[in-house]
Structure 1
C-alpha cells in the first residue's frame, strides 16, 4: 500500500506515469530467466520483441515500468546477465499471438513458428512441430502423448524462443480445453 502510494507520487513528480522501459539481453535464455526472477520479486513485466534498432543479441526483451529501473537492475544483478535498460519508444510487438485451427478431431494452435495439436475429445497432445531450436526434439518427447493439464511447461523445460512460443501454444490449448476460448 505504502509502496504503491510512493510509486504514484514519484511518477507524478517525474512526469513518467506509464513510462515503459526495455531490459535488453544477449540470449533468449537470459530473458526468460529474468522474467521469472522479476515476477517472483513482484515486478510487473512481460516478454516482448524489441524493435530491430534495439536488438543487441536476442529477439526478446522484458518490458518494465521505467520508474522501477533501479530496483529491476538491483533484482537482476548477480542473477541474470543483461545488457542494459532503455526507455521504450512506441509499442512493442506482443508475443501472445496465436492462430487456432480446428479439424474434425483435433485442434492446432500455432504460436510463432511452433505448432501444438491436441485431440479435442481426450485433451492429449498428439503432435508438436515447427521451429529449429535444439530443445524441440526433447520437448516433443516430453509433451506428445501427455494430457494438456499434465504436460510440463515448455518455458520451464526449454531454453529457446521456440520453447517460449510452444509454451504460449500450450497456454492457449489449455484455455480451449477448459472451454474458455475457441477462436
Structure 2
C-alpha cells in the first residue's frame, strides 16, 4: 500500500518528464521477454521495443522503462533475469506495431513482422501459420493450427524468439478482428 502511494506520488512529481526514459539491453530475445513479464508483474510500466542500431549489443529487443525507476527495476530483475545494462535514451523507439490484414473469401491472414497467421472467417479456427526461421515455430505450429482463436495458447508465452513475439502480435490482431466481427 505504501509502495503504491510512493509510486503514484513519484509519477505525479514527474509529470511532463517524458525524456526520463531508459532502455534495458539484453543478450537474448528470451531474456527480454522474460524481463517484461517480471517487471509487469512487479507493477512497473515497461514495453518491448526495438533498440536503435547503435545501442544493440545483443538481441533485437530491449525494454523501455521510466529511467527514474532504474534502481528499483534493477533490483526487481536481480537474480531473475540477466541483462547487459540500463541506458538513458531520448527520441522515438518502437517495436514495429504494423500488422497487415488480407481478406480472402473464407479466411483472413494477419501478418506481423515476418509471421503470418490465417484463420477461418466463419469458425475462428486457425488454419495455418507461416514465416520466420526461428526454431520454436514448428512447435508453435502444432500448438496453434486447428485451435480456435480464443482458445489458442499465446505464442509469446510458449515461444522464446522474436518470431514467437511477432506471431503473438498476429494472434492479438486476429482476435481483435474475430471479436469485432462477432459483435456486429
Q: What TM-score range do you get, normalising by the shorter chain?
A: over 0.9
* Segment of structure 1 superposing worse, 54-63 or 83-92: 83-92
Superposition map of 1:102-181 within 5 A = 102-179=103-180
1:86 aligns with: 87
Correspondence 1:5 to 2:6: no
Q: Is the 8 A contact 1:49 1:92 kept in 2?
A: yes
Aligned length: 177
In structure 1, runs of 5+ residues without a counterpart are none
* Segment of structure 1 superposing worse, 116-125 or 95-104: 95-104
Once the two structures are superposed, residues 66-90 of structure 1 have per-residue CA deviations (whole angstroms, 9 ceiling, x without a partner) of 1111111110011000011111121
Once the two structures are superposed, residues 40-70 of structure 1 have per-residue CA deviations (whole angstroms, 9 ceiling, x without a partner) of 0011100000000000010000001111111
Distance in 2 between residues matched to 1:149 and 1:101, nearest whole Å: 20
Once the two structures are superposed, residues 103-124 of structure 1 have per-residue CA deviations (whole angstroms, 9 ceiling, x without a partner) of 1111101001100000010000
Could you tell me the TM-score, scaled by structure 2's length?
Answer: 0.92
Superposition map of 1:46-61 within 5 A = 46-61=47-62
Instruction: Name the SS for the 2:180 alignment partner.
Output: coil
Could you tell me the TM-score, scaled by structure 1's length?
Answer: 0.92
Distance in 2 between residues matched to 1:123 and 1:6, nearest whole Å: 44
In structure 2, runs of 5+ residues without a counterpart are none
Correspondence 1:68 to 2:72: no
Report the CA distance between 1:141 and its aligned residue.
Answer: 0.4
